[in-house]
């Protein structure tokens, strides 16, 4: 009977530890990865003190939780099989010395390898999770020096003995935490600059505020602080004891089930669309959180994450500025002109749901003005409709709340601006006589591409957006036109049936930007996508005017 009870208690402990270990890994450590990535890869203009603090908290907690969670799972398996495996970590943050911290971090090997086993385990985990940077050698030197200084004091803490033990332990935690910045920096100089940012010595601008707002939503903060608490308090749990065994079993089981449902590994499997949708809905409804590709703002506004990345990250894909300069050089040899139309994005014209404030002008991406000046200096013409669209947004929204595309009214207003510019500078490229066309008003409803992306295709989550389109037939694209109009989604929306507000029967609607501009110029245009524009040099060389329509944040 006693042996049966011992086996049962071991398996109860094992089940509780197993659930706790999976929860540490899947609910906390792995979900910290996007937060760490956003902080480490923040653009220098957007990097302020708060992202550095968050990066330090997240990186340190993640490494501790990866070690602790894996240790819990291995120990649970050993208990289930009848063994008594040792604890790998044993409350390392309860120590008031650095030697004790590292010995507790890898407790079974402390007698043979001393502090080196714990340091090696932490560094290996950091390397696997986030890579290693130039500051790692400085970190190693620091954490070899601190225990050496303690040995000179006879193994006592570097803090005087009259300081209470809890405060000495807090000192060790703070040094461990602050020094971890070396592991994610490019060296001592970079780390020093970031330490200065942490303590309020940086410059605040709209981009730093935007990144702060993006990182300070309920979901990442909840994950971050739970991770910090778990890393400090839930490392090195011993056997639960008979009094709390069933509580531990129930809690561990619930955490393990939640980890399997909501954890990132399973949440990325295409076959589990229902589970993905459930997790996304819970995060959106409770925490107002979007996802990896959608950013949720206030009052139901959704944004393409790529647009916010352009203003807050340093690793965004290269824009089209270089390609435009090369294209203008080719066109200049043919006495032709490139006309660039950088349309302000959704964030530029509607920044308030993401970063509440009073704005006097559009919140354009950093470096945009310099790019436009380079294009003008190279001979290209630029029509920037930002201020006009900013002024008209007071009367109506320029973008849909849950879609990434501009409204038909914004599209028509931009087409009118471009048509006036062409008639003023290239009157021969426009006709005065109105051709025979067939114009039809079309009413369309759509959930929004961002809403569908967030809801994994479940359109019923959101009320549909409404659009009134003007379809124009009789001015089809012509390769013989001296005017080439190129672009991406901005150009194809309201025409391409595969995009938002498209025709369900798969037939083009002829209600997009190309049709509106053709009607205003009273002539057909040669319409191409961006890939065709850059690849078909013969086609481009035959034109007198090439118009490139794109979002400003893609420059």
Q: Are residues 235 and 320 in the same domain?
A: no
Contact predicate 527/477, CB 8 Å: yes
Q: What is the distance between the alpha carbons of residues 417 and 422, in angstroms, rounded to a whole number?
A: 9
Closest to 310 measured CA to CA, from 229, 207, 411, 402: 207
Q: What is the pLDDT of residues 486-505, one digit of tens each?
A: 999 999 999 998 888 988 77
Mean pLDDT for 415-421 is 96
Between 183 and 145, whose confidence is greater?
Answer: 145
**Other C-beta atoms lying within 10 Å of the C-beta of residue 202:** 16
Q: Are residues 22 and 84 in the same domain?
A: yes
Q: Are residues 324 and 238 in the same domain?
A: no
Structure tokens at 48: 């302020």
Closest to 398 measured CA to CA, from 411, 384, 380, 379: 411
Q: Are residues 191 and 110 in the same domain?
A: yes
For 487, which DSSP code?
Answer: E
Contact predicate 231/225, CB 8 Å: no
Residue 260 lies in a domain: no
Residue 292 lies in a domain: no
Q: Are residues 417 and 494 in the same domain?
A: yes
> Domain containing 15: what range?
9-253+271-287
Residue 376 lies in a domain: yes
| Domain final residue, candidates 262, 287, 312 | 287
Residue 4 lies in a domain: no
Q: Are residues 114 and 189 in the same domain?
A: yes
Q: Are residues 343 and 240 in the same domain?
A: no
Residue 407 lies in a domain: yes
Q: What is the pLDDT of residues 307-363, one digit of tens each?
A: 999 999 998 888 899 999 999 999 998 889 999 999 999 999 999 999 998 999 999
Q: What is the count of structural domains for the chain?
A: 2
Q: Are residues 324 and 248 in the same domain?
A: no
- pLDDT for 459 beyond 80: no
Q: What is the pLDDT of residues 45-68, one digit of tens each?
A: 998 888 889 989 999 988 888 888
Supply the pLDDT for residue 519.
92
Supply the pLDDT for residue 1.
39
**Other C-beta atoms lying within 10 Å of the C-beta of residue 470:** 18
Buried b (16+ CB within 10 A) or exposed e, 475-489: beeeeebbbbbbbbb
Q: What is the distance between the alpha carbons of residues 29 and 184, in angstroms, rounded to a whole number?
A: 17
- pLDDT for 12 beyond 90: no
Q: Are residues 310 and 423 in the same domain?
A: yes
- pLDDT for 160 beyond 50: yes
Which residues are CB-contacts of 297 (< 8 A; sequence separation ≥ 6)?
303, 353, 354
Q: Give the bridge partners for 547, in sequence order.
A: 339, 485
Residue 277 lies in a domain: yes
Residue 263 lies in a domain: no
Residue 431 lies in a domain: yes
At 237, the pLDDT band (50, 70, 90 cuts) reads low
In the chain, the percentage of residues whose pLDDT exceeds 90 is: 36
Mean pLDDT for 190-203 is 82
At 13, the pLDDT band (50, 70, 90 cuts) reads confident
Place of tokens 């200096």: 377
Q: Are residues 50 and 112 in the same domain?
A: yes
Q: What is the pLDDT of residues 272-288, one digit of tens each?
A: 566 677 777 778 888 78
| Domain final residue, candidates 287, 313, 338 | 287
Q: Are residues 69 and 102 in the same domain?
A: yes
Q: Are residues 440 and 478 in the same domain?
A: yes
Q: What is the distance between the alpha carbons of residues 229 and 172, in angstroms, rounded to a whole number?
A: 16
Average pLDDT, the chain: 85
């Amino acid at each position: 009977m006693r042996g049966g009870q011992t086996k049962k208690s071991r398996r109860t402990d094992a089940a509780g530890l197993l659930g706790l270990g999976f929860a540490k890994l899947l609910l906390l450590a792995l979900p910290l990865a996007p937060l760490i990535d956003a902080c480490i890869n923040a653009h220098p203009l957007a990097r302020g003190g708060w992202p550095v603090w968050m990066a330090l908290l997240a990186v340190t907690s993640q490494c501790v939780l990866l070690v602790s969670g894996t240790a819990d799972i291995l120990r649970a398996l050993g208990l289930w099989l009848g063994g008594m495996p040792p604890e790998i970590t044993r409350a390392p943050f309860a120590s008031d010395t650095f030697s004790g911290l590292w010995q507790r971090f890898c407790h079974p090997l402390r007698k043979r390898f001393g502090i080196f086993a714990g340091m090696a385990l932490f560094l290996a985990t950091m390397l696997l999770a986030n890579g290693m940077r130039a500051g790692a050698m400085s970190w190693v030197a620091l954490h070899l020096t601190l225990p050496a200084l303690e040995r000179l004091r006879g193994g006592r803490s570097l803090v005087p003995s009259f300081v209470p033990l809890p405060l000495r332990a807090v000192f060790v935690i703070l040094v461990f935490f602050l020094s971890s910045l070396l592991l994610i920096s490019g060296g001592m100089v970079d780390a020093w600059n970031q330490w200065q940012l942490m303590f309020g010595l940086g410059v605040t601008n709209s981009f730093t505020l935007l990144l702060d707002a993006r990182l300070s939503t309920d979901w990442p903060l909840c994950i971050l602080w739970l991770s910090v608490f778990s890393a400090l308090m839930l490392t090195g749990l011993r056997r639960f004891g008979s009094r709390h065994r069933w509580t531990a079993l129930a809690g561990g089981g619930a955490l393990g089930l939640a980890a399997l449902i909501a954890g990132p590994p399973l949440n990325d499997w295409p076959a589990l669309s229902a589970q993905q949708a459930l997790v996304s809905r819970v995060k959106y409804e409770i925490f107002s959180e979007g996802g990896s590709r959608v950013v949720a703002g206030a009052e139901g506004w959704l944004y393409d994450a790529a647009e916010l990345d352009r203003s807050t990250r340093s690793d965004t894909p290269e824009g089209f500025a270089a390609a435009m300069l090369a294209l203008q050089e080719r066109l200049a040899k043919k006495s032709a002109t490139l006309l660039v139309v950088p349309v302000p994005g959704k964030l530029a014209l509607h920044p308030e749901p993401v970063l509440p404030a009073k704005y006097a002008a559009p919140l354009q991406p950093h470096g945009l003005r310099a790019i436009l000046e380079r294009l003008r200096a190279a001979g290209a013409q630029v029509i920037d409709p930002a201020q006009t669209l900013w002024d008209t947004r007071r009367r109506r929204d320029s973008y849909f709340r849950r879609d990434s595309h501009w409204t038909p009214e914004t599209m028509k207003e931009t087409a009118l601006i471009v048509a006036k510019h062409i008639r003023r500078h290239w009157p021969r490229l426009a006709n005065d006589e109105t051709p025979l066309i067939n114009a039809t008003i079309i009413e369309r409803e759509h959930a929004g591409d961002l809403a569908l992306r967030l809801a994994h295709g479940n359109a019923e989550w959101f009320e549909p957006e409404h659009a009134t389109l003007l379809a124009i037939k009789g001015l089809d694209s012509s390769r013989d036109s001296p005017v080439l109009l190129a672009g991406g989604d901005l150009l194809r929306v309201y025409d391409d049936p595969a995009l938002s507000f498209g025709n369900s029967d798969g037939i083009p609607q002829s209600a997009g930007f190309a049709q509106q501009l053709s009607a205003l110029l009273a002539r057909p245009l040669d319409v191409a996508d961006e890939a065709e524009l850059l690849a078909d040099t013969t086609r481009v060389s035959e034109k007198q005017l090439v118009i490139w329509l794109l979002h400003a944040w893609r420059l």
